[in-house]
Structure 1
């Protein structure tokens, strides 16, 4: 049983909150690259309760500054891109991507005020269609050489969506392999050849059996967890007829991401990023091991649900997530349509903006959630004491990472599941142009 104090310890993310101090030690997604395209490459960003402005100057350089102008606090998110930086419309003060004040034009001729002004600026970097920022102290960690970061840009696609709840419960839905048999249950299987870009609608690898059939008919997975250098690996086994077994490998990358299979050809790397204590964004990179991603199709599919500019869901708590009782009786377990993002959104938002974990009763299938919470609390306490935490890696350490392997397939021999997923992962990499080029069999099972 978790106390109210422990719940606050894990969920609150303000600058002085223990979990907030921990998360500030890591790179955080703050925008999609797409969001800075067009006539005005400026975007307001709220991250862990703090307000920033993200922009790209005329030379293509990225910058992220505190949102309030240091002159008299006007909103720099309405600034003008000109003169080599971002100019405040109030009095024309100009700042470059490093926060250096370049001009204070309303001041008297010869004024030295500009030389004494510095706006807080934060490191930013683009990775696979996502802009990451670092708002912590000291040097940021290196990016691990995971598939989503080393695949060519043609083979990745990035998107995001808003959840109106705390970041931790959003992450925890991905550490729960059992829920998919219920929350994402479809009573009829679709043509798996039409499943491109849709999770849980294709066929499991090494078979023509729809994943929807596996989840629906074999709903008691045997779950095991393994601690890894990046966080945690989860394996869910579902026993099938004729001595076969369905093997699903998912991963938790500390502190707030998971890597899961989307299909036999794609994986999803997804971060859960606090806007504040009560809202978060999910950011995902879809990585293809076969051909280039059809980005337009993937984007169009997701824009059926998500509205720009803030990537909010058209189905939400204000319209009961599109719930339809007839659909619930005949088509889907939730009655909330066929987009599993809506199912997840309902599940985690219905817990409240911050789940009251003092009232929960965990079962055997929640072992991954229990293990992650222990890891999180340990890292928070270590940070409070000035100590280390997982995945605060340097460049040399980053190059030792790969994968992490993420498999959804049917082992027709019902043999050793670890041997199956390692073989399946190796086979996928050997058949992939970009993955085979960097394949190191000694890292395949890392």
Structure 2
């Protein structure tokens, strides 16, 4: 049983909180590139409990500054882009992307006041359709060379969604393989050829069996959890019969992401980014190993559910997530429609703004959650002692973090251990872009990687 103090330790992310100090040692998704690509390229951003203004200046350079103007505290998110920076609408003070004050126009002509004024600024980089910010001290870490960053732009698509609860319970859904057999259960199977862009609606690799049937009929997975150089690997096994077993391989990418298979040809890398202690965004990059991503279709599918500009779900607490008792009796386990994001959002928001883990009772199927919390506490303590946490990478070590491997397929009951690796490596070898084969897999299935 967890104490309240332990629960606070792993959930609170303010600047002075231990978990907040850990989070500030990583690049954080601050916005989608799309959010500044159209209309007014200035956006108020709340991230890790702090308020910022994100903007793109006239030269295309991104800047992230504290949101309150250092003159009198007015809101810079209502500023104007001009003369090489962001100008406060109150008195016209002008700041560049580094936070340096360039002009204080109401001051005397010979005033040197602006030379000594610098607003706190933060590094911003564009990667995978997301604008990433580093809020920590010192030099930021390097990005790992994982698939969603290695793939060309036309093979990726980025999106986000708001969840009104603490980041940790949102993340923990993604490392819980058992829940999918219940929360995401569909009573009827659909034509899997129409599954593009939808989770848990296609067929598993090497099989015509729809994922909906696998999850519905085999609801007691054996779950294996392995520690890796990037976090955790989860392997969920659902035995179909003596010859065949469904294998699903997913990953927890420390500190707050997971990497999961979406279909035989696409994966999802998803971060659960704290807005503050009681709200978070999921940011996802969908990566294709086959054809270029149909970005317009993927975006249109998601905009059926998510409303701009906040990317808030149209199905939410205010309308009971679209709950329909007739649908629950005849079509879906939840009665909340076919989009599994709604199911997940209901589950985690129903726990409360911050889940009270002093009242929970975990079982064997929660082993990944137990190990992740242990890992999180360990890395929080490491940072508190002045150390560098897991996946705080330099340029050399970043190149060694590749993949990670994911798969969803039906293979041999005896021999599944290498089967999933072979499926993942074959997909990489057949990709039209240079999808790297992680070194661990190259060693274990050398017959598929000998040409490298």
* 1:339-376 Cα shifts (integer Å, max 9, x gaps): 00000000000000000000000000000000000000
Give, in angstroms, the shift of residue 251 of structure 1. Answer: 0.1
**Aligned equivalent of 2:133:** 133
- Alignment of 1:418 with 2:417, yes or no, is yes
Q: Is the 8 A contact 2:425 2:441 kept in 1?
A: no
How far residue 382 of structure 1 moved from its aligned partner, in angstroms, is 1.3
Name structure 1 gaps, 5 residues minimum: none
Matched, 1:6 2:32: no
Residue of structure 2 equivalent to 1:398: 398
- Please tell me whether residue 331 in structure 1 is matched to residue 331 in structure 2: yes
Q: TM-score, normalised by structure 1?
A: 0.98
Deviation at 1:39? 2.9
1:67-99 C-alpha deviation (Å, 9 max, x unpaired): 000000000001111110111011111101000
Residue number in structure 2 paired with 1:77: 77
Q: Contact 2:404/2:438 (CA < 8 Å) preserved in 1?
A: no
Question: Who is 2:275 aligned against?
Answer: 275
How far apart are 1:130 and its partner, in Å? 0.4
Which residue matches 2:97? 97
User: CA offset at residue 416 of structure 1?
Assistant: 2.4
Contact 1:234-1:250 within 8 A present in 2 as well: yes
Paired residue secondary structure (1:53): strand
Q: How does 1:8-157 map to 2 (within 5 A)?
A: 8-157=8-157
Which portions of structure 1, spanning 4 or more consecutive aligned residues, are displaced by more than 6 angstroms? none
The CA deviation string for residues 242-272 of structure 1, in whole angstroms up to 9 with x for no partner, is: 5100000000000000000000000000000
RMSD, aligned α-carbons: 1.1
Matches within 5 A, 1:307-346: 307-346=307-346
Gaps (5+ residues) in structure 2? 445-452
Q: In structure 1, what is the Cα distance between the partners aligned to 2:227 and 2:405? A: 14
Q: Is the CA contact (8 Å cut-off) linking 2:176 and 2:366 kept in structure 1?
A: yes
Name 2:450's counterpart in structure 1: none
**Are the counterparts in 1 of residues 402 and 437 from structure 2 also a CA contact under 8 Å?**
no
Residue correspondences, number: 444
The answer as to whether partners of 1:405 and 1:444 remain within 8 angstroms in 2 is no
How far apart are the structure 1 equivalents of 2:147 and 2:113?
A: 48
Paired with 2:85 and 2:78, the residues of 1 have a C-alpha distance of 13
- Which secondary structure does the structure 1 equivalent of 2:226 belong to? strand
Separation of aligned partners in 2, 1:211 and 1:118: 55
The answer to whether the 8 Å contact 1:422/1:445 transfers is no
Task: Give the CA deviation at 1:441.
Answer: 5.9
Identify the residue that residue 256 of structure 1 maps to in structure 2.
256
Is the CA contact 1:167–1:277 (under 8 Å) kept in the aligned structure 2?
yes
CA–CA distance in 1 between the matches of 2:89 and 2:235?
54
